[in-house]
Structure 1
């Protein structure tokens, strides 16, 4: 394969920072605007199909060009991306934050390829083609964040936050019925219709093989001769699938976090949790295509920490709730079960340059499981065991 995708991006941006007081509260504002324009050029080396031939009965094949050539495709997109961030010290040691931004993420390069792939043999009802789409738009997201933080001691705080995102232009593989490259269909042309009429007049069965034989008889060619589409035949309708920007998703949730240090002892504890909601969950009972976002789940972490005189240690339990992994070839949802593991990390700074460390991951030898639709339909189970690393870091 030889696929080439070129992206050229031109961007302008500006930013302004403000600091002021309002009713005795210190207010900091950062605002900005970014404009991005991207032009995409895609070329793929391929040998395109130029016609179809009806070999015999229900047997079909494509006729391809003699030489390979580069396809040509292009696309462009432009976006304005504003941002606004503000924090306000409501009272001493209490900080409120508000943020709005519009962000983008570019589609996968593999989806931008300029390809036309004729899949399988062009049997009647099975004429499928997969094409690339260099004109895909980037994912865009409008993001809103609110938080309140209280710093009640040296190294100690509690915080709570709310976030919301509306993400547009999610990719969906869409199939449409199209004609391609002037390829004609001998199964539906004048020759085939005349053969069907002749067979009907003779009271014979109009099977594919009988129609094929009758066309050869009518045009004076030997039985079994392949029938190639010509100008008298209609254009072929193909089922063409390509990625398109279709879906919009809404996500929202809450975040809570806390850290407490026990005076100057170096000991402390920290914990956080994130709860995610949205209109992008998979229906376990649905059949066929459905839009849902993989990878979204609640999560939580709690750690016991020590940090004093160059010695830093952390014992952490990290947990993630069940989440959608993706879909199988039958559009059935695949889930990964809830999973948690215990980790430890110890660092010692010998001096300003040298740090030695040891860490252990998954100390309790947890197992990960995935299943299709329901937990009884086990798909896979993984047991990686505990892993230990020891090493050093040196800064020159």
Structure 2
């Protein structure tokens, strides 16, 4: 039985300045917390003598806290449109990473019967400090001023760049796990006369999925691009039909040993998903 007790203070300070009626600047400071997940804290142990490996949680993990600084400039367009840009800095304490320990010895008896040498232990650990800094860009606009049926069209796009760093191994500072440098979305939508549709594209660059004993054995999730479609037609205030199609590009989830794409260790294919139906509102 392991217990933890701690106190936290989470202030938030927000400043807003109106340069013009449609141009707003914001500055925000906040402090936040992210507690470990159950699989990270659990004391359960998975033992595999055939590969001399042990997987276990770490009940001594501390929650991650973050001091967040955000600056943004927002320009509000006609017909609900917006163009905005922002910068952010997140200073993290006790960031949680998955960790691989090599050369750990266990007694060749009891639960560990069958272990013939040094084992690998996969677990979780805190690192003292880390940061994630970057920029955010966003644009959305419906072209309601176009003539006739063209007035239903609109576009939207956003992009985030993240520069993150933490000491994932002693003396080795690297991009934080599960943090992609580049993430982007682009959509073309239509909304007019009861019919609405959205074709959306999503891109995320590669990121570290699992921390190994060295940079050569880190597990990376490779870049992904996917395309989704959603459409709805409302006959009246009560009846409507819809159609959704996900992963039109049949994007695979690919994991590699090291950052390069030429050392794959796992691929997952999901195909396309289609869903159609009728909605009725009381």
TM bucket (normalised to shorter chain) is 0.7 to 0.9
Partners of 1:365 and 1:379 lie apart in 2 by 19
Superimposed CA distance per residue, residues 298-338 of structure 1 (whole angstroms, 9 cap, x where no aligned partner): 11111111112221101111111122121358881111221
Q: Which has the larger radius of gyration?
A: 1
Partners of 2:236 and 2:279 lie apart in 1 by 11
Deviation at 1:279, TM superposition (A): 1.3
Gaps of 5+ in 2: 102-120, 146-150
- Residue in 2 that maps onto 1:380: 266
- Residue in 1 that maps onto 2:160: 274
Give the direction of change, closer, same or farther, for the CA distance of 1:99–1:352 in structure 2 (3 Å limit). Answer: farther
Partners of 1:80 and 1:352 lie apart in 2 by 47
Give the direction of change, closer, same or farther, for the CA distance of 1:360–1:152 in structure 2 (3 Å limit). Answer: same
Aligned counterparts, 1:295-334, within 5 A: 295-297=178-180, 298-327=182-211, 332-334=217-219
Partners of 1:157 and 1:277 lie apart in 2 by 25
Partners of 2:270 and 2:210 lie apart in 1 by 22
- Residue in 2 that maps onto 1:161: 86
SS in 2 for 1:137: coil
Deviation at 1:293, TM superposition (A): 2.7
SS in 2 for 1:154: helix
- In the alignment, which of 220, 235, 259 is matched to residue 140 of structure 2? 259
Contact 2:167–2:173 (Cα < 8 Å) also in 1 = no
Aligned counterparts, 1:28-107, within 5 A: 72-107=1-36
Partners of 1:99 and 1:139 lie apart in 2 by 20
Deviation at 1:174, TM superposition (A): 10
Partners of 2:144 and 2:254 lie apart in 1 by 42
Partners of 1:110 and 1:333 lie apart in 2 by 20
Deviation at 1:269, TM superposition (A): 0.9
Superimposed CA distance per residue, residues 74-131 of structure 1 (whole angstroms, 9 cap, x where no aligned partner): 220110110112322211210111111101111223454578x8x899xxxxxx9x88
**2:176 pairs with 1:293:** yes
- In the alignment, which of 250, 255, 263 is matched to residue 365 of structure 1? 250
Contact 1:174–1:244 (Cα < 8 Å) also in 2 = no
SS in 2 for 1:79: coil
Contact 1:113–1:132 (Cα < 8 Å) also in 2 = yes
Gaps of 5+ in 1: 1-71, 122-127, 176-239
Contact 1:166–1:248 (Cα < 8 Å) also in 2 = yes
Partners of 2:86 and 2:41 lie apart in 1 by 37
SS in 2 for 1:260: strand
Contact 1:75–1:136 (Cα < 8 Å) also in 2 = no
Partners of 2:240 and 2:222 lie apart in 1 by 37
Partners of 2:222 and 2:48 lie apart in 1 by 37
Deviation at 1:268, TM superposition (A): 0.8
Partners of 2:224 and 2:122 lie apart in 1 by 37
Q: Provide the aligned length of Structure 1 versus Structure 2.
A: 248
- Residue in 2 that maps onto 1:389: 275
Partners of 1:174 and 1:341 lie apart in 2 by 31
- Residue in 2 that maps onto 1:250: 131
Deviation at 1:287, TM superposition (A): 11
- TM-score of the pair, normalised by structure 1: 0.55
Deviation at 1:147, TM superposition (A): 0.8
Deviation at 1:244, TM superposition (A): 5.4
